[in-house]
Structure 1
């Protein structure tokens, strides 16, 4: 049976706490996420031409894609209603903004 998209394993690991020290025990969150887009390609495009530092570009791309996919899957959930127009406008602006418009002179 064909997949309905790309399946990702998303993992987040705490490296340092607010105090600058490593956690005493491993602190991680891992889950699977299905996306209709190739998120890795999107992250690489953002890193290459967004004007953001690479880690910022990755965070913006990944965060936007994860939230956007959840909102699509939960299209009838009123909890997301306040975000829908704003996220759509943000994604449109992000796609239309050139690198030079986001970098400092």
Structure 2
């Protein structure tokens, strides 16, 4: 069950990393699917390599999701020159005090 979830998550991360959002012709997706087919076993079999393959898949999933999150944060918070006080306050979630006149 964990292997199927990891496979789906890996393919979803590859889809989000793809510029067109399509991984039909992706070499990485083909490789991942081939590895999952290679190490598929039944519940009655004990296969150390399958556990190693699952661990490797989870490691790649962690790497891809962390890289995606890093790029999102970098794009949001990377300096684009001087910002106004209001933009900076909005960026960190504060509200500026209003001056009643």
| TM-based fold match above 0.5 | no
Taking structure 1 as the reference length, what is the TM-score of the superposition?
Answer: 0.35
Higher relative contact order, chain-length normalized (CA < 8 Å, sep 6+)? 2
Choose between structure 1 and 2: higher strand proportion: 1
Taking structure 2 as the reference length, what is the TM-score of the superposition?
Answer: 0.36
